[in-house]
Chain A
Amino acid sequence: MMICRIIALVVVACSVAGCASAPSPGELDRRAIAVMQSSFRDQGIAKVDRLHQDLGQQACSGASPPPADTVKRIEAEALASIRWPAGGRYLGDWREGEKLAQNGRGMTWTDASASPKDNGASCYNCHQIDKKEISFGTIGPSLWNYGKQHGVKDPTDPASAAIVQYTWGKLWNSKAYAACSNMPRFGHMGLLDENQLRHLMALLLDPASPVNQ
């Protein structure tokens, strides 16, 4: 580790002064990592260890997607990581879900704690959900009428099991269905707890939720 650091520093010095010959793409990759490691510091709950990438983060750090076999591996590992809800209870209270969806806070260096109870789900940042909220993002697809569009009349009906389970899985670890999804892994990364996820499930799938009117 120590040796790596020293090499990194030498490399940065070289990169800043400009080297005689143009470095190779692989060499630039290494220098970029060294720049990342030297440019950040701990602040509050946001420590530099957040820059340690897992396989998926590393593979999805390019302008183009990773090779097909890597995609397959990331998705398979993510799918296997999903923890299904205790007692098979998938749905909570859509009202609580709406509050979480509106709340974009959590996990930044200005947040006091990384505990799920202090985190929002940031859904409206990227998705349309309840149509009444006009301030929504478009990075993800619209979720207006999500349950209705999927024909969910009773979420406990076995006929709805597939979409209910998919939705839980997507919230728990979005990478199970798209290796480089822009969506955070809310369950897998400990951002939200099971009950919070149930509330979001209800917002999307409960026939009584304003989303499905």
Chain B
Amino acid sequence: MTPFVADLLIPVGKIVAVILYPMVMVMVMIWLERRVVALMQGRLGPNRVGFQGVLQPVADALKLFFKEDIIPRQADKLLFNISPILVMFSSLLAFCFVPLGEPIRIGTYTLTLWIAESQVGLLIVLGLSSISVFGVIFGGWASNSKYPLMGALRSVVQVLSYEIPLGLTVLTVAFVARSMDLVEIVRRQEASGVWYGFLMPISFVVFWISAVAETNRAPFDLPEAESELVAGYHTEYSGMKFAYFYMAEYAHMVLVSSLVVILFFGGWLPPFPSVKALDFLDAVPGFAWYLIKIMFFLYLYVWIRATFPRYRFDSLIRLVWKWLIPLALANFLAVVLVRHLR
């Protein structure tokens, strides 16, 4: 492979891919959510634009692109403009560190399916994904309006609280895998023969609940609770800036689902590695397994949304401080003890 291809084209291709991949996933997710929720409610959902309505998110995005962009006169213009970008790009940037599979060998060249490999990839991804909350806070504050401000305040408390159990459960994974490298974590799961989700079910459950709360999704969608706060922190946003918030929420969901799959469900590994009769599953490319697993968790998001009412603020905080954090702490201690005794 010529140096030109290796040094220039492939990085450029990767950059395009890392933008396209989350965006396509977001579009698919938006369509999926609207269709699946509709079907769960005995409706049909979007089915007019394109085959079965798959182009619906495209039409939505295009329409929003051509909408007028309103900045309220009382708003803090700089922060008002920055926050949607901050939210969108922190989610997209995190995707640079999320591997999509094992490196592929093309002749002598090794194509890695990630943009940046880092020994502390896990920390970076979590850190970047929590930056997006600043976008929410700034956006809510800069709107200079009461409902967005209340949404932003709710968001602060919620994210601050739920980061703790999230961090504690991630710690158990890092502890067991003895690595913070996302690729390495998957490899360790392959080597140990059991996915961490089955090894440490409590870690997985706490992580998942906290992750749903982190992404501001039902039943934890208090910062944008429609029946209470109109549209929450993005009430004053219109056009493309609103689209950024909207897409960032879904990008965040894709990111969190990817993390769950990598940390707890073996990433791109095929299921049942120890069952000889199912060896043919290895023939399916790892990326396909990866996508299937992500889709499952995205579906779970939608399922939860269609089923549960919204938490109230105090019970939300009670849930995390009285249940999740003690549980995560006990779980962490247990993991350390078991690991130490063995």
| Chains A and B belong together in one complex | no
Interface residues of B (CB under 8 A from A): none
Interface residues of A (CB under 8 A from B): none
